[in-house]
Amino acid sequence: MCYNQTMKRETSKEVGKGFIAFGNLIGGLSIVNGLFGANHNLPAVVTIGVVIYSVLMLYATGIRLIDKGAD
């Protein structure tokens, strides 16, 4: 296997891990902001929907990139 292919695989894995970590960060900060935040610009249902959607999409993207790097 070529060095370049190995680097691409490892880069894909690390970027995938970054997406999952970013999803964790968004989810955690949204929970903290929901509990302790004072300003609410959107209704709670819309905010929860956007947070859930973004976390799920970031996780899905991260898993795909990790899987791509594992091949």
What pLDDT shows up at residue 69? 87
Average pLDDT rounded to a whole number, residues 46-59: 91
Q: Are 55 and 22 in contact (CB under 8 A)?
A: no
pTM of the model: 0.82
Reported as a pLDDT band with limits 50, 70 and 90, residue 13 is: very high
Cα–Cα distance between 42 and 1 in angstroms, integer? 51
Q: What is the mean pLDDT of residues 61-65?
A: 94
pLDDT tens digits for range 23-51: 999 999 888 887 777 677 778 788 889 89
Q: Which residue has the tokens 């959107």?
A: 42
Task: Quote the pLDDT of residue 71.
Answer: 77
Three-state SS for 4?
A: helix
15's tokens: 């970027």
